[in-house]
Amino acid sequence: MWGVLPVKNFENAKTRLAPALSPEERRALFRLMVEDVLAAMCASDLAGVLVLTNEPEAITLAGTYGARAEGEPENLGQSEAVLRAMQILEAEGVSAAMQLPGDIPGVSASEINALIAAHTAKPSPAMTIVQAHDFRGSNALAVSPPTLIPFHFGHDSFQPHLTEARAAGVEPEIVTDLPGIALDIDTADDLAKLLAHADLQTKATIWAREGGLVERLSR
């Protein structure tokens, strides 16, 4: 199984955090979250990691961690970017792939391995999904073959992905015990939940604590 990590440009990232963080802080946080996710993916049992991006710093990060980077003809939306990456992999003979977003810094290699195990235990075609902590989004999606379904990433993507799987004749596997994957960071409340895990030491959480964000978000 391969991993797919679509990465938007770092400039003007995470606008929903604007009430709590400056543009420079949002950019720095997003870059570090992407690095946390990439590091976990590259330390896992994934056969390879494909980063789809036009962001120069993300391309550099991919090389640092031994991942593959592919550019986009234009800055695609998440669904279109994931589809492009899945099409690239499937054309090369990859039989299964999982998508992870760049804003789940609490993810660990062990969680990714658990998702790989849950998915590969089922015969193809198959789909395995991890729901976002708000019960609306899709924070991880493993599919075999990689282009099994159309993708509908966005704030309310969970139910549409279940519908697409069933339309393809597949009963989706829902994995519920991977909290690092489930917590995506979009708002100040999300960030506060992440930083409440004092034992979680990632590049993003260390940066946030050193920058006084715990105290700032608690006001």
Percent of the chain surpassing pLDDT 70: 99
One CATH from 3.40.1410.10, 3.40.50.150, 3.90.550.10, 3.30.70.20 for 2-186:
3.90.550.10
Q: CA–CA distance from 59 to each of 6, 67, 86, 149 (Å)? A: 11, 9, 18, 27
Percent of the chain surpassing pLDDT 90: 84
In angstroms, rounded to a whole number, what is the distance separating the alpha carbons of residues 25 and 14?
10
* HSE-up (13 A, CA, CB side) for residue 156: 0
Residue 23 contacts residue 12 (beta carbons within 8 Å): yes
pLDDT at residue 134 greater than cutoff 90: no
In angstroms, rounded to a whole number, what is the distance separating the alpha carbons of residues 52 and 85?
7
**pLDDT tens, residue by residue, 22-51:** 999 999 999 999 999 999 999 999 999 999
Flag the least confident range among 62-66, 105-109, 149-153: 149-153
If DSSP codes are grouped into helix, strand and coil, which group holds residue 138? strand
**pLDDT tens, residue by residue, 108-121:** 999 999 999 999 99
